């Protein structure tokens, strides 16, 4: 390689210090690595979804765990930051926020569904449902498996699109712009766009847009605390939508519910967007109240845009 080519490669790959990979690559490479592990594995698992629900569920949890760990390790190496910098800590406060986030997520997601029913997007009925297994023991095992899979998926997405992307996006934008609001706002924009695009193959353009809107709810907890406890919790609280929709997860099995909602024959994209914005409105209000009560302040946490 000639000196000029080597110099060009170095300038593209490294930042001005010549010590760290550019923030742009640090934003993109860890999610790409994780997705390249996750998507082929998920496609492979779906080939056995009908007959081996338990094996698919366990395999899915392991796959998500490996993909998440790979993203964190790659990010830590490229960023030259410890793993703790990505929103995790061993503390009662972290556990408290995660549990509180689950409650907030349940309320906000239930409110979203109620909005959809009131707007005519869904019909609802009181109907006690189970997992769909004949044996109580098998049903209980599948329930734990479903919950574990949804939680692993939520951790995967929050690590990628909040913990890794926002941390590096604020650094990239901070070198070009002044003002915390501008820098963090731009980083949030990058995060929600990438989060929406991640769902492209799951449900087309509508899911991309609604996921991006939902990302505004999830990111709020991260901005206010600098930790992933609240985002993971509120994201996991959305599990109630799987239950109410009776959406099959593995092999036709579903989560139990006491209220079942079904879409009307002619669903509206406008109402679907309104539902997501309503969830954001309710959820952000509850997050703000939680943080104010337990932290005594409502501001962007320094750890979102610095290494402190």
In the chain, the number of structural domains is 1
Distance of alpha carbon 160 from alpha carbon 137, whole angstroms: 35
Residue 141 falls inside a structural domain: yes
pLDDT of residue 51: 65
The residue segments making up the domain with residue 216 are: 19-304
Residue 2 lies in a domain: no
pLDDT at residue number 49: 63
User: Quick one: pLDDT at residue 86?
Assistant: 92
Spans of the chain, pLDDT less than 50:
none
Q: Considering Cα of 255, then 156, then 274, then 269, what sign does the dihedral take?
A: negative
**Residue 37 covered by a domain:** yes
Residue 46 to residue 267: CA distance in whole angstroms: 28
The confidence score (pLDDT) of residue 305 equals: 87
The answer to whether residue 178 is domain-embedded is yes
| pLDDT number for residue 16 | 61
282 assigned to some structural domain? yes
First-to-final CA distance of the chain: 39
Q: Is residue 5 part of a domain?
A: no
Does residue 197 fall inside a structural domain? Answer: yes
**Does residue 4 sit within a domain?**
no
């Amino acid at each position: 390689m000639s000196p000029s080519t080597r110099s060009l490669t170095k300038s593209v790959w490294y930042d001005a210090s010549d010590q760290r990979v550019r923030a742009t690559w640090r934003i993109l490479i860890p999610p790409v690595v994780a997705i390249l592990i996750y998507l082929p594995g998920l496609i492979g698992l779906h080939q056995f979804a009908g007959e081996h629900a338990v094996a698919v569920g366990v395999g899915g949890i392991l796959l998500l765990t490996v993909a998440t760990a790979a993203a964190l390790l790659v990010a830590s190496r490229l960023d030259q930051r410890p793993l703790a910098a990505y929103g995790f800590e061993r503390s009662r406060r972290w556990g408290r926020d995660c549990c509180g986030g689950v409650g907030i997520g349940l309320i906000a997601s239930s409110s979203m569904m109620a909005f959809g029913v009131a707007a005519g997007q869904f019909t609802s009925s009181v109907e006690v449902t189970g997992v769909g297994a004949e044996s109580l023991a098998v049903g209980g095992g599948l329930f734990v498996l479903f919950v574990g899979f949804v939680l692993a998926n939520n951790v995967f997405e929050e690590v990628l699109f909040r913990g890794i992307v926002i941390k590096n996006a604020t650094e990239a934008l901070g070198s070009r712009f002044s003002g915390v609001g501008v820098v963090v706002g731009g980083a949030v924009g990058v995060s929600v766009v990438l989060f929406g695009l991640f769902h492209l193959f799951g449900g087309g353009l509508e899911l991309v847009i609604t996921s991006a809107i939902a990302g505004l709810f999830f990111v709020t907890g991260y901005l206010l605390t600098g930790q992933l406890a609240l985002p993971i919790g509120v994201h996991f609280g959305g599990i109630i939508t799987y239950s109410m929709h009776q959406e099959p997860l593995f092999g036709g099995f579903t989560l139990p519910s006491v209220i079942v909602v079904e879409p009307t024959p002619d669903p509206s994209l406008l109402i679907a967007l309104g539902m997501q914005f309503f969830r954001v409105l309710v959820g952000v209000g509850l997050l703000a109240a939680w943080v104010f009560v337990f932290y005594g302040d409502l501001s962007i946490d320094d750890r979102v845009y610095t290494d402190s």
